[in-house]
Structure 1
């Protein structure tokens, strides 16, 4: 290979990397996700409807994707009997035609397109919203009896991290809430 071909290939590779970085930056600017990008950790006391509390360790990671962004989060609950219960979730979000509202891309259809899950099959219907300094993720579940549960995760920008506000409403009744600070790592 001639030196001029090697230089041309390096220039082409550099140009491709710059284009990809610019495209991802454009997605972040377009979606409004840029200020939220990062990794955050903290702990909290989850408050149940009966007033009892449960300690939780929490983490969230927010990142750009090719077409939108990803929110991944985990909780660790320590039970009084010594058991540890871990839960983790990861959801990609895509822009919609509505400014600041994002659809969850949780599965692929037969054509390879990202689509929502089906709440009539017991799966959550998930969407996101960015309004000012708050990134909200909603999850709607339809119970086998036709009732509902709505979970709302507000992640609010704060000095040094995020304020997390979580609530779970089942058939109009608040069943769980938590508010805590998650420190940017």
Structure 2
């Protein structure tokens, strides 16, 4: 191949660059985060602390499963109220890889084309996303209130020997209103 012609040189450079880029993506995918260390079922309990200092006992469980193009996080909480009432809540969210390394978009409903997409926070639905940063899997939920205010929930699940360290915080308009920290044992 003669490389003395400008067009031939440019084509050769583009071809070489494309070959190197393709090879690097095949070895190092854009989404380097690995959910595998987090996969499993975990249980624990803690006292949830409200902004006014009151504590409420709560049992918690979480299951993290790998999916074809991402992962699923399902969690359940059982709250024991002072009046003897027991409140259970369960959530399950699929996360898909995004165009940004180690950041995952929530796939919570299907659009008119059948593609899984996040919910719409302008309709009062939570906007949810996740990320893996080192040994921590974080799930964020953003809610926009009727008056334009917001609530942000953050669940940090950090790998630890025998399970996960869970740190949960809820912020309303920038002020922390609830938090909990506990250890969840891997089953």
CA distance, structure 1, for counterparts of residue 101 and residue 32 of structure 2: 9
> Paired residue for 2:48, among 30, 46, 50?
46
Question: Helix, strand or coil for the counterpart of 1:32?
Answer: coil
Q: Are 1:102 and 2:93 counterparts?
A: no
CA distance, structure 2, for counterparts of residue 86 and residue 93 of structure 1: 23
Gaps of 5+ in 2: 1-28
| 1:153 aligned residue | 155
Q: TM-score, normalised by structure 2?
A: 0.83
Residues 65-74 or 34-43, more deviating: 65-74
Alignment of 1:3-152 (within 5 A): 30-152=32-154
- Runs of 4 or more off by more than 2 Å in structure 1? none
Q: Is the 8 A contact 1:78 1:85 kept in 2?
A: yes
Q: Is the 8 A contact 1:127 1:139 kept in 2?
A: yes
Q: CA RMSD in A?
A: 1.2
The structure whose Rg is larger is: 2
Gaps of 5+ in 1: 1-26
Shift of 1:31: 3.8
Question: Helix, strand or coil for the counterpart of 1:80?
Answer: coil
| 1:179 aligned residue | 181
Describe the superposition over 1:107-142 as per-residue Cα deviations: whole angstroms up to 9, x where unpaired: 000111010100000000000000000000000000
Shift of 1:30: 4.8
Shift of 1:70: 0.1
- Count residues with an aligned counterpart: 158
Q: Is the 8 A contact 1:31 1:95 kept in 2?
A: no
Q: TM-score, normalised by structure 1?
A: 0.84
CA distance, structure 2, for counterparts of residue 30 and residue 175 of structure 1: 34
Question: Helix, strand or coil for the counterpart of 2:176?
Answer: strand
CA distance, structure 1, for counterparts of residue 58 and residue 94 of structure 2: 24
Q: Is the 8 A contact 1:31 1:68 kept in 2?
A: no
